[in-house]
Amino acid sequence: MNMTRSNIQPQSISGFPEWLPEEKIIEQKMIDIIRAAYEKFGFSPIETAAVEKVDILRAKGGNDKEIYCLSRLAGAEEGEDGKELALHFDLTVPLARYVAQNYSNLPFPFRRYQIQKVWRGERPQSGRFREFYQCDIDIIGDGELSLLSDAEIPSIIYSIFKQMDIGPFVININNRKIIQGYLNFLGIPDSDVANVLRTIDKIEKVGVDKVVSELVNSLGFSEEKVKPLIDLISLDTSSTPDVINELRQMKVNDKFSEGVDELAKVLKYMGDLGVPDDYYKINISIARGLDYYTGTVYETILKNHPGIGSVCSGGRFDNLAGYFTDKKLPGVGISIGLTRLFSKLIKAEVIKAGPSTSAPVLVTVMDPSCMNLYFKVATLLRDGGINTEVFLENKKIGIQLKFANRKGFALAVIAGSNEVESGNVQLKNLKTGEQYTVSVSELVPKVSEILSSLKKQGLWV
């Protein structure tokens, strides 16, 4: 109302990614794979509001600088001071609030998946966004939760990344009790444990020397404590049974042994669940920086793209919602940072944008007076489960086929008044150039046949 025409520059905002249709189709396909896998393992969907009360978001330690508050552009109501409502920055805090709030209406163990955008006012950089998708699952127990859940989670990770077909990957798995027990054994006080874990966690990124130097110089540890710690986290873990045996023989303390036992059990069940040996690895250095993990932890690395970092992380926590309820709610879960993963894979050309349409067939219009035929053919294809667009503009057939190729359709239906009379149409395979005369009644099976052959050749998605 208060702007004149054509003087506003249309542009995206840094850190708020958007995609062209041919990219969005692929991102959507990845989301569909994740969702299907979550449902396959019996997780139910929930969706929480994008907006939470600021109190809720700060309860578990959100970073104020990264929290986006809401205020009305004009006419705030009484009591609104613009610091009450804010966008969620993850899906874990909202889950905790939701579970506490709906406790009596939820069946436990409660398995939920949640695929939503979250917002963080971080400085945007490559692969770090201010608005991005998280795809989370968690299994929440009421009072207790069996270790079997810890084993099921990696089998879901395996199922997802296998199906995504983005190259080999390995699920790094550890149990925080191992390293925590060892730190206790070394006499490192509980108050320092979190700092040490955060430092150790960086070992794959920054290397052993930097970690040693940080432990000695910044955290003030003696060399004689640091050496055995580094030895532990550098254990050769290429053979899972060997490393479990080695850890068992160490007999450090109860906490350590508990961690080793839990890890061994989880690994055994993962085998029962069909996760192949070469898709997981014990990695004693991973601890996940977040304070709330208390047992099993996971990180997932794409072997050909270790620089992307972990593409799916999570773990076990003792108590989900202590800030909101007195009920003890232990859980285990993971999160896939989809926007980051997708943007990195597109950049690395691991995935490439394909057609900008999810319809394989374009019905062209040679003779506008036969429009009712074209519409009938389209309806026939759609009823046969084949997504179909009709070219509705009055353009020459050459322009229509150019459009079809640009959008990436697999097939074009071409028919003039002659064909109409004979009950046939021309079906053009736009990927191979082949052209067939097909009777209208045979169109659906013929299109299906060509599409499955194109799929086999990698020429259709």
Site for its own copies in 237-276 (CB under 8 A): 269, 272-274
Q: State in angstroms the smallest separation of the CB of 1 from its own copies.
A: 4
Classified as helix, coil or strand, 376 is helix
Rounded CA gap, 84 and 226, in Å?
46
Which residue in 372, 421, 433, 456 binds its own copies (CB under 8 A)? 372
Which residue lies nearer to its own copies by CB, 17 or 181?
17
Binding segment (CB under 8 A) for its own copies, from list 142-150, 248-256, 278-286, 418-426: 142-150
Rounded CA gap, 116 and 134, in Å?
6
- Residues 296-335 within binding reach of its own copies (CB under 8 A): 321-326
Which residue lies nearer to its own copies by CB, 205 or 406?
406
- Residues 146-165 within binding reach of its own copies (CB under 8 A): 146, 148-149, 152, 159
**Binding to its own copies by residue 124, rule CB under 8 A?**
no
Binding segment (CB under 8 A) for its own copies, from list 95-103, 200-208, 254-262, 437-445: 95-103
Closest CA to 172 of 319, 270, 36: 270
Binding segment (CB under 8 A) for its own copies, from list 42-50, 220-228, 295-303, 309-317: 42-50
**Binding to its own copies by residue 423, rule CB under 8 A?**
no
Closest CA to 153 of 318, 287, 275, 325: 275
Q: Other C-beta atoms within 10 Å of 180: how many?
A: 24
What distances in angstroms separate CA 239 from CA 231, 243, 263, 382, one per listed residue? 17, 6, 14, 53
Which residue lies nearer to its own copies by CB, 19 or 185?
19
Binding segment (CB under 8 A) for its own copies, from list 110-118, 181-189, 413-421, 425-433: 110-118
Phi-psi group of 357: left, alpha or beta (phi > 0 → left; psi -120 to 50 → alpha; rest → beta): beta
Q: State in angstroms the smallest separation of the CB of 236 from its own copies.
A: 28
**Binding to its own copies by residue 72, rule CB under 8 A?**
yes
The sign of the torsion formed by the CA atoms of 33, 36, 42, 45 equals: positive
**Binding to its own copies by residue 127, rule CB under 8 A?**
no
**Binding to its own copies by residue 338, rule CB under 8 A?**
no
Which residue in 310, 357, 364, 429 binds its own copies (CB under 8 A)? 357
Which residue in 30, 33, 34, 56 binds its own copies (CB under 8 A)? 56
Binding segment (CB under 8 A) for its own copies, from list 218-226, 341-349, 385-393, 448-456: 385-393
Q: Is residue 365 within 8 Å of 173, Cβ to Cβ?
A: no
Which residue stretches of 234-370 are H helix? 240-250, 254-272, 338-347
**Binding to its own copies by residue 138, rule CB under 8 A?**
no
Q: Is residue 244 within 8 Å of 260, Cβ to Cβ?
A: yes
Q: Is residue 376 within 8 Å of 425, Cβ to Cβ?
A: no
Rounded CA gap, 296 and 263, in Å?
7
Binding segment (CB under 8 A) for its own copies, from list 60-68, 210-218, 294-302, 425-433: 60-68
Q: State in angstroms the smallest separation of the CB of 235 from its own copies.
A: 28
Q: State in angstroms the smallest separation of the CB of 277 from its own copies.
A: 16
Q: Is residue 288 within 8 Å of 299, Cβ to Cβ?
A: yes
CA 420 from chain centre, in angstroms, equals 48
Which residue in 218, 253, 387, 441 binds its own copies (CB under 8 A)? 387
| Residue in the structure block whose two tokens are 């993963």 | 341
**Binding to its own copies by residue 292, rule CB under 8 A?**
no
Q: How many residues bind its own copies (CB under 8 A)?
A: 115
The binding track of 183-222 with respect to its own copies, each residue x by CB under 8 A or -, is ----------------------------------------
Classified as helix, coil or strand, 162 is helix
**Binding to its own copies by residue 102, rule CB under 8 A?**
yes
Which residue in 87, 334, 341, 366 binds its own copies (CB under 8 A)? 87
Q: Is residue 412 within 8 Å of 403, Cβ to Cβ?
A: no
**Binding to its own copies by residue 17, rule CB under 8 A?**
yes
What distances in angstroms separate CA 44 from CA 128, 136, 176, 434, one per listed residue? 29, 11, 28, 46
